[in-house]
């Protein structure tokens, strides 16, 4: 693999190091080359912990490593996300924290149900749901839930501390962790159990972390807890730190030299993606941020362009973008080399309408995560209920999916059969053996209990096919789908699920992975052709020949909620920077006076970019 001199210097250095990279500077290439170099030096691949930001990035890195080293993919068991690596550690030692193996990861769906039930118990208004979920998550990701709750004591009239402990008690009683707990509990384990910590410290010979600018406090602490010998290699771009809103803290990146005494700093400044005109303008924009590391990013490619266009309304803006795309397409640029990026999802509607009208094929990136789709959730709840019979949320979902004539009254009646400390599934098993149900319901429920027993030992793909077949899920899906197209798409999703599941040996292995890929939700899934439409967050890491950043209005980008705080405003500017640096050749920034019937002046970032273009 070809490496520049800057990349080579970073790859061959041994000891604590931070790579301060620019956009398009080959971070992934450098990280992969570093692992391969370590293996050449005699480091065992099994002992290298390489942390990526998403599961997809971990798979991609493993693929490249097998190509580079000729080693089998199994030789890289610790190329993982923070969540996936921490769950592996947690699962191994969960008894030390009072859990019984197998430890369950609560999916979004199960977590939502638990929170909603608790909110009823605390007599809270349903409109507080997102606030409650965000507060629980932020408390954990801060690394210090107590301090967080001191600073944010209440949601409405309810004490956050009471909610938090009720929520944690419920999870513990169900022998489960939610997504945020994976990091928090792994931190507790490594911090409080010296023997476990020292074993891992002795085991890992090198730790590498990608996208270090987006680590949160817990992840930074976990890195420190796992690091035994100072061999730490972190790569990132502080100009692209865009996850502050969910707890990432760019200070870990900015303060790396203070945290790791003697660390070497390397810079990757050549942009291999974008033309120099784009790199220069993006550099100029980021200079308006006060808090940033200095970098001299450059490109050797010429011939790009940056243009600003202002419109009266969003319809006019969308029509112009559609015309421009058609023109570029006629000049030979394929649709899949172009992207339309926006700050928030609602912006996309007039553009979708304009593209449909003009017959431009497009796809939305980073939409609902695969595992959150209705049909996938249904099937996964069957598998979960088979492996975790105490999981009421999963069992309640399958109880009447497809319809078995079980309404809320019947659920109440079944609940009354619950043995002390038992689950809803225990209750149903009791009701079935007690023969207290009408014959139709009895037949449906006993078939369900039998089905769950039968699939529990099966391989995941066989289990899915068995569920589909025995509950006639296809007919159910057909009835539920509004159009023939929707039915086809949903059935295709299930085929995809069967394929994905076939790579796992047991239901437990499969369910763990399914729960862990939650973090890839924002990630783009890009198999089909067509123009790409995406939020800026979902476009991270991608590149396109032509990029339109639309909706550059003062209310939208920067987002109106961020305008009062200097640090949030700087994060918005970094978002603009991420969007601009996705472009290889042509970059268009557009704004409209009226959007959704409201007036807004052009974004201050438009004025800043215009200033850079004049220089």
Residue 2 in the binding site for ligand ATP (CB under 6 A)? yes
What is the number of residues in the chain? Answer: 615
> Which residue out of 178, 211, 237, 277 is catalytically annotated?
211
Binder among 180, 237, 572, 608 for ligand ATP (CB under 6 A): 237
Among 27, 187, 343, 490, binds ligand ATP (CB under 6 A): 27
Residue 112 appears among annotated catalytic residues: no
Q: Identify residues 575-594 at the interface with ligand ATP (CB under 6 A).
A: 581
HEC per residue, 202-228: HHCCEEEECCHHHCEHHHHHHHHHHCC
**Least Å from the CB of residue 24 to ligand ATP:** 4
Which of 20, 23, 171, 497 contacts ligand ATP by CB under 6 A? 23
Of positions 10, 11, 21, 207, contacts ligand ATP by CB under 6 A: 21
- Which among 34, 140, 187, 210 is annotated as catalytic? 210
Long-range contacts of 475-481 (CB under 8 A, 24+ apart): 475/402, 476/401, 476/402, 476/403, 477/375, 480/374
Q: Which residue has the CB atom at the shortest distance from ligand ATP? A: 26
Is position 185 annotated as part of the catalytic site?
no
For the question of residue 27 being annotated catalytic, the response is: yes
Cβ 128 to ligand ATP shortest distance, Å: 37
Kindly name the residue from 80, 185, 292, 582 that is annotated as catalytic: 582
The residues near 263 (Cβ < 8 Å, ≥ 6 apart) are 15, 16, 17, 18, 232, 256, 257
Residues of each annotated binding site: 21-28
Contacts of 102 (CB under 8 A, 6+ apart): 91, 387, 388, 508
The span from the CA of 116 to the CA of 94, in Å, is: 27
- When the beta carbons of 375 and 571 are compared against ligand ATP, the nearer one is 571
- 535: annotated active-site residue: no
CA 161 vs CA 151, 154, 179, 514: distances in Å: 11, 8, 19, 30
Q: Is 34 in the site for ligand ATP (CB under 6 A)?
A: no
* Strand blocks (E) in 483-543: 531-535
Q: Which stretch binds ligand ATP (CB under 6 A): 27-35, 294-302, 336-344, 473-481?
A: 27-35
What is the C-alpha separation between 541 and 556, in angstroms, rounded? 22
DSSP state of 406: -
Binding mask 530-569 for ligand ATP (x = CB under 6 A): -----------x----------------------------
Question: Is 403 labeled as catalytic in the residue annotation?
Answer: no
51 is a site residue for ligand ATP (CB under 6 A): no
Closer of 2 and 194 to ligand ATP (Cβ): 2
Q: Kindly determine how many residues on this chain lie close enough to bind ligand ATP according to the rule CB under 6 A.
A: 18
**Binding status of residue 603 toward ligand ATP by CB under 6 A:** no
CB neighbourhood size of 203 (10 A): 13
Query: Residues with Cβ < 8 Å from 373, sequence gap 6 or more?
Result: 490, 493
Indicate which single residue of 16, 18, 19, 25 sits in contact with ligand ATP (rule: CB under 6 A): 25
Nearer to ligand ATP, 227 or 241 (CB): 241
Rounded to the nearest whole angstrom, what is the least distance from the CB of residue 578 to ligand ATP in the complex? 8
Q: In this complex, which beta carbon is closest to ligand ATP, that of residue 112 or of residue 301?
A: 301
* Whole-Å CA distances, 314 to 100, 189, 340: 55, 52, 14
Does 293 bind ligand ATP (CB under 6 A)? Our answer is: no
Whole-number Å distance between alpha carbons of 252 and 141: 14
Neighbours of 440 (CB within 10 A): 10
DSSP-derived pairing of the beta strands 305-313 and 583-595: parallel
Q: Does 24 bind ligand ATP (CB under 6 A)?
A: yes
Binding positions for ATP: 21-28
Its sign, for the CA torsion 233, 238, 242, 248, is positive
Residue 561 tokens read as 């909620």
Please state, in angstroms and rounded to a whole number, the distance separating the CA atoms of residues 249 and 240.
12
Stretch that binds ligand ATP, among 26-34, 111-119, 309-317, 602-610 (CB under 6 A): 26-34
Q: Tell me whether residue 299 or residue 401 sits nearer to ligand ATP (CB atom).
A: 299
The answer to whether 16 contacts ligand ATP (rule: CB under 6 A) is: no
Interacting residues toward ligand ATP by CB under 6 A: 2-4, 7, 21, 23-29, 237, 240, 272-273, 541, 581
Residues tagged active-site:
27-28, 210-211, 240, 582
């Amino acid at each position: 693999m070809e490496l520049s001199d800057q990349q080579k210097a970073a790859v061959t250095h041994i000891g604590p190091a931070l790579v301060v990279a620019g956009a398009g500077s080959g971070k992934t290439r450098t990280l992969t080359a570093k692992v391969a170099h370590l293996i050449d030096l005699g480091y065992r691949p099994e002992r290298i912990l390489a942390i990526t930001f998403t599961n997809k990035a971990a798979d991609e890195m493993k693929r490249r490593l097998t190509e580079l080293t000729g080693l089998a993919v199994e030789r890289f068991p610790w190329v993982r996300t923070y969540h996936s690596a921490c769950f592996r550690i947690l699962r191994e030692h969960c008894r030390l924290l009072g859990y019984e193996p197998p430890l369950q990861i609560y999916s979004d769906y199960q977590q939502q149900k638990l929170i909603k039930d608790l909110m009823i118990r605390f007599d809270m208004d349903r409109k507080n749901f997102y606030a409650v979920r965000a507060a629980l998550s932020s408390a954990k990701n801060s690394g210090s839930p107590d301090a967080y709750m001191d600073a944010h004591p209440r949601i409405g009239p309810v004490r956050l501390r009471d909610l938090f402990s009720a929520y944690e008690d419920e999870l513990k009683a169900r022998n489960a962790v939610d997504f945020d707990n994976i990091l928090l509990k792994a931190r507790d384990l490594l911090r409080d159990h010296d023997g476990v910590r020292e074993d891992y410290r002795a085991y890992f010979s090198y730790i590498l972390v990608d996208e270090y600018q987006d680590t949160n406090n817990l992840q930074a602490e976990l890195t420190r807890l796992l690091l035994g010998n100072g061999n730490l290699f972190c790569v990132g771009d502080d100009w692209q730190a865009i996850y502050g809103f969910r707890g990432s803290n760019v200070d870990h990146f900015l303060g790396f030299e203070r945290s790791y005494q003697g660390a070497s700093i390397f810079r990757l400044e050549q942009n291999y993606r974008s033309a120099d005109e784009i790199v220069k303008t993006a550099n100029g924009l980021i200079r308006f941020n006060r808090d940033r590391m200095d970098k001299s990013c450059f490109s050797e490619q010429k011939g790009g362009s940056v243009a600003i266009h202002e419109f009266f309304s969003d319809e006019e803006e969308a029509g112009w973008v559609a015309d421009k795309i058609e023109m570029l397409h006629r000049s030979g640029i394929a649709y899949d080399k172009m992207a339309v990026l926006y700050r928030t999802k609602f912006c996309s509607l007039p553009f979708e309408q304009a593209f449909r009208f003009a017959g431009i094929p497009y796809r939305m990136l980073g939409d609902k995560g695969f595992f959150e789709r209705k049909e996938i959730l249904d099937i996964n709840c069957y598998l979960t209920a088979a492996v975790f019979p105490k999981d009421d949320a999963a069992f309640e979902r399958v109880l009447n999916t497809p319809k078995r004539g079980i309404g809320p009254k019947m659920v109440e009646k079944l609940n009354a059969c619950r043995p002390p400390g038992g689950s809803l599934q225990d209750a149903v098993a009791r009701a079935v053996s007690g023969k207290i149900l009408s014959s139709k319901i009895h037949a449906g429920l006993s078939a369900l209990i039998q089905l769950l027993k039968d699939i529990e030992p099966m391989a995941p793909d066989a289990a899915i096919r068995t569920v589909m077949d025995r509950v006639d899920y296809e007919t159910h899906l057909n009835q539920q789908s509004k159009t023939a197209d929707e039915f086809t798409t949903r059935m295709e999703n299930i085929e995809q699920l069967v394929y994905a599941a076939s790579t796992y040996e047991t239901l437990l292995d499969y369910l763990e992975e399914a729960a862990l890929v939650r973090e890839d939700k924002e990630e783009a899934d890009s198999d089909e052709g067509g123009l790409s439409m995406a939020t800026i967050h979902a476009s991270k890491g991608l590149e396109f020949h032509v990029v339109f950043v639309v909706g550059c209005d003062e209310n939208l980008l920067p987002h109106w909620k961020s305008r009062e705080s200097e640090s949030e405003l700087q994060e918005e500017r970094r978002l603009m920077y991420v969007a601009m640096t996705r472009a290889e050749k042509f970059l268009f920034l557009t704004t409209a006076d009226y959007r959704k019937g409201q007036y807004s002046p052009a974004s201050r970032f438009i004025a800043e970019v215009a200033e850079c273009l004049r220089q």
